Amino acid sequence: MRHRVALGLLAAGWSLAATAADPADWLAQMSEAARAANYQGVIVYQTHDRLETMRVVHRYRKGQEVERVQTLTGAPREIIRTGNEVVCLLPKDRKVTLELPTPKALFPGLTPERVAQISRYYEFRDVGEARIAGRKCRGITIAPRDQYRYGYEIWADADTAVPVKVNLIGRGNAVMEQLMFTEIEFPKSIPDSALQPELDPAKFQKVTRFVPEPKPFNVDTEADAQFANLPPGYHVAMRDVRPTLDGQGVVEHMLLSDGLSAISVFTAHRRPTAQAFQGFSQIGALSAYGRVVGSIHITVVGEAPSDTVRLIGENVQPPPGVTAPASDASDPTPSP
* Average pLDDT of the residues of the chain: 83
Task: Tell me how far the alpha carbon of residue 28 is from its chain's centroid.
Answer: 17
Question: What pLDDT was estimated at residue 331?
Answer: 41
Residue 110 has pLDDT above 70, yes or no: yes
Poorest-confidence range of 50-59, 82-91, 132-141, 175-184? 82-91
Question: What pLDDT was estimated at residue 247?
Answer: 67
246-249: long-range contacts (C-beta < 8 A, 24 or more apart)?
Answer: 246/330, 246/331, 247/335, 248/328, 248/330, 249/324, 249/328, 249/329, 249/330, 249/331, 249/332
Q: Which residue has the higher pLDDT, 220 or 324?
A: 220
Report the pLDDT averaged over residues 203-216: 75
Question: What pLDDT was estimated at residue 102?
Answer: 64
Q: How far is residue 233's CA from residue 213's CA, in Å, rounded to a whole number? A: 22
Question: Measuring CA to CA, which residue among 218, 222, 225, 220 is closest to residue 298?
Answer: 225
DSSP letters, 232-249, are TT-EEEEEEEEEBTTSSS
Residue 317 makes CB contacts below 8 A (sequence gap 6+) with 225, 226, 227, 228
Structural domains in the chain plus CATH codes: 2-209 (2.50.20.10), 214-317 (3.30.200.100)
Report the pLDDT averaged over residues 308-336: 62
Q: Note whether 154 and 132 are within 8 A (CB).
A: no
Residue 118 makes CB contacts below 8 A (sequence gap 6+) with 110, 233, 258, 259, 260
Q: Note whether 218 and 236 are within 8 A (CB).
A: no
**pLDDT tens across 270-311, in order?**
776 567 888 999 988 999 999 998 888 899 999 999 999 999
